[in-house]
Amino acid sequence: MVARRRKRAARDPQEGIPSPPGYSAVPIKFSEKQQASHYLYMREHRVREGTNSSWPQKRTLFVLNVPPYCTTECLSRLLSPCGPVQSVELQEKPDLTESAKEPKSKFFHPRPVPGFQVAYVVFQKPNGVSAALALKGPLLVSTESHPVKSGIHKWLSDYADSVLDPEALRVEVDSFMEVYDKKIAEEEAKAKEEEGVPDEEGWVKVTRRSRRPVLPRTEAASLRVLEREKRKRARKELLNFYAWQHRETKMEHLAQLRKKFEEDKQRIELMRAQRRFRPY
């Protein structure tokens, strides 16, 4: 009988806590008063060959099971002994798109994740990842020199941070609109230059620019158009819906044609009678 081998999860040598295969378990505590440890599971972030990643290879640490009270500043401080930390980003789930991301504004904060999160920690040097994987812990999240707010104090702080400075927001919006207007002007100038100019193969690019500018439609004109469409729709509604209605419509049309034909005959006879020669 062939014995079946089961792949078991690696265990921490000190606590005997199981960790997923390929991950290193690092214990952390909220403060010194806390007796039980919480475990972070870390590994080096890798992607498939030929895949573009927004995270630098060999310098990015992927962290699972990040508790809600552990912020980006806390992770940066906990892992700073391993080497200079370039950036820390928390997400609700792992990033599977591996696409470049647009820079986020400091005035619009994403909705906080209510539960546990994953983190991407980017070090300035590759040896920071290997040093972080060798950590033993436990690491303290809240210390006397770096206290971490929790409970009602954290809620009040988050609310105070959510109140925006109107002047600073106006400055950022104005700068964004200046860049946007400049980009649109450059695109229009480029399209105007390419209009009517054939390319290398002799093809002429057709643009949406029109010689006659279209006047903007007013509200009154829009209402008239809608009323006209409504009348057309009402005339077509339930017209000759049944077969017998269609037959009656045809019979009425034929009767009107016969009546008009008889009237035309009488009119022609009257005109002929009026044109007869009468010398006396």
pLDDT (tens digit per residue) in 44-85: 888 776 667 777 888 888 988 888 888 888 888 888 888 888
Tens digit of pLDDT for each residue in 112-144?
667 788 889 999 888 888 888 888 878 888 887
Q: Which is the CATH superfamily of the domain at 19-149?
A: RRM (RNA recognition motif) domain (3.30.70.330)
Could you tell me the residue ranges of all domains in the chain?
19-149, 176-237, 238-275
As a whole number of angstroms, the distance between CA 62 and CA 72 comes to 13
Give the pLDDT of residue 12: 46
Q: In this predicted structure, which of 9-18, 136-145, 199-208, 246-255 has the lowest mean pLDDT? A: 9-18
Residues 4-10: contacts with CB within 8 Å, 24+ apart?
none
Q: Distance between CA atoms of 87 and 94, rounded to whole angstroms?
A: 16
Q: Is the pLDDT of residue 214 over 80?
A: no
Of all residues in the chain, the percent with pLDDT exceeding 70 is 72
Say what the pLDDT of residue 10 is: 46
Flag whether pLDDT at 17 surpasses 80: no
* Residues linked to residue 163 through DSSP beta bridges, in sequence order: none
- Read off the pLDDT of residues 221-245 as tens digits, 9 standing for 90 and up: 778 888 888 888 776 666 666 777 7
Rounded to whole angstroms, the Cα distance separating 88 from 84 reads 12
Torsions phi, psi for 214 (to 5 deg): -85, 125
pLDDT given at position 183: 92
For residues 131 and 152, the model is more confident at: 131
Q: Which stretches within the chain are classed as H helix?
A: 72-79, 127-133, 152-162, 166-194, 219-236, 243-274
φ/ψ of residue 15, rounded to 5? -100, -15
| Residue 55 contacts residue 44 (beta carbons within 8 Å) | no
Does 12 or 109 have the greater pLDDT score? Answer: 109
Cα gap 272→266, rounded to integer Å: 10
